[in-house]
Homo-oligomer: A and B are copies of this chain.
C-alpha cells in the first residue's frame, strides 16, 4: 500500500498542476519540482504525459457515466431527474473543481483515437440529458421548445461551476448551492 500512497500523492499534485496550467503548458519539470523529486521519478508512476491525461480524463468521465446511468434507470419524474443531474454536478464540483476543469477543457489534447472515444461518451451523456428534457416537455412539466437548445443552456449553467472559485467561499455549502442552481434552471431570475 506504500506505493499506492505515493501514487495518490503524485496524482493529487498532477491534477492540480494540470488544471492550473493546461496540458501543453504543464511540464514534467514543474510537476517534479512540486513533488520535490527529479523529473525522471515521474515515470515510476506513469508511462508518459499523455497517459497521465488519459487516466485523469477517463476517471472523471466514468464517474459522470455512472451518475447519469443511475439517474436514467430511476423511476424519477423528468423534473426530479433534472434535479439529480444538477446535484451530481454540484457535488462533483465541490469534491474537486480541478478535475472538472480538466474534464471540460483538456480532452482536446488526447490522441486522436482516445479523443474519439471520449467524445462518444460525452455525446452519450448529453443525449441522456436531452432525453430528460424531451420527456419533461412531453408530460408538460417543461415548457415546449428546442430540446438541444435547452440541453445546452442547462449544461452551460452547471458545467462551468468549477470556475466560480467555490472553495474560496467558506460560507457556501453544497446543499445551498444545489438549491440555488436548481431554482435558477427551473424558474430563472425574474420575480
Which residues of chain B are within 8 angstroms of A82 by Cβ–Cβ distance? 189
Q: A-side binding surface: helix, strand, loop or mixed?
A: helix
A22 at the interface (CB under 8 A from B): yes
- Cα separation A190 to B154 with both chains bound (whole Å): 12
Of B136, B150, B152, B160, the contact of A159 (CB 8 Å cutoff): B160
Contact, CB under 8 Å: A189 / B191: no
Q: How many interface residues does A have (CB within 8 Å)?
A: 39
A2 at the interface (CB under 8 A from B): no
Q: How many copies are assembled?
A: 2
A76 at the interface (CB under 8 A from B): no
- Cα separation A188 to B181 with both chains bound (whole Å): 11
**Interface positions of A from 23 to 61, Cβ below 8 Å from B:** 24-25
A157 at the interface (CB under 8 A from B): yes
Nearest-neighbour CB distance to chain B for A81, whole angstroms, equals 12
**Partner-contacting stretch, out of A7-15, A63-71, A113-121, A139-147:** A139-147
Known A82-B189, A136-B189; further 7 A-B contacts with Cβ < 8 A: A133-B189, A141-B190, A143-B190, A145-B183, A152-B164, A153-B181, A188-B188
Q: Tell me the A residues contacting B by CB distance below 8 Å.
A: 22, 24-25, 79, 82, 105, 108-109, 133, 136, 140-143, 145-146, 149-150, 152-154, 156-157, 159-161, 164, 177, 180-181, 183-191
| Listed A/B pairs (9) with beta-carbon separation below 8 Å | A22-B24, A140-B191, A142-B190, A143-B183, A154-B189, A156-B156, A156-B160, A157-B157, A159-B160
> What are the 3 A-B residue pairs with the smallest beta carbon separation, nearest first?
A24-B24, A188-B188, A187-B188
